[in-house]
Structure 1
Amino acid sequence: MNGLDVAALVLILIGALLCLTAAIGVVRFKDVPTRLHAATKPQVLGLILICLAIALSLRSWPVVAFLVPVVLIQLATAPLSAHMVGRQAYRNRTIDEKSLYVDERAQARERERRRDEG
């Protein structure tokens, strides 16, 4: 086992742990925003690390050419799907609005800006 194989092994282990924590977070968290956070951020990073480990392990340009679109598609679709799920949960009023943070200062600035414009 050379250094690249050890690095690939470590990356696969870290990526698998991140994907596992994402799955546990989706099951254990109670509301939609925290579940979305768990479903997107660690899962995407875990997939990227696993793809990087595969590329290091196989050391082949066709493999890298296959993995790059996989990562790019994941980076494009995970935030989009999380946004759509969050938006639908907000519209259905299935989000606990008491747990959401409201920035009163930003709202006051926005009201002031609108008042100045109109």
Structure 2
Amino acid sequence: MSPELITESHYDAKSDIWSLGCLLYELCALQPPFQAKSQPSLAIKISAGMVPPLPSRYSEELNNIIRTMLMVDPNKRPTTMELLKMMHPSRDITRREEELKQREIALNGREIM
């Protein structure tokens, strides 16, 4: 439930961005970003916008993307196009390839000794 729905404000695509942020957060953290024992308590937590950081195995970049998606003010959330620009899978792939090359070099060095 996005902050807009709690306050019964206008609902638009930014609410969907918020929902996607919740889903991504839960996929990474294996728990929802907002937890409470009652609906009113949950509404208070959502309205406060206090999102715990993702587990440390996730990049700060991903943490920041999800945090922007979960901004209380819908005007501060990214659009779909802005989200696509924020996500750079090719850069991540290149970084992973470089890490693998470095590991391979290190392993080859061990074999020579």
| TM bucket normalised to smaller | 0.3 to 0.5
TM-score by length of 2: 0.39
Could you say which structure has the higher helix fraction? 1
Higher Cα radius of gyration: 1
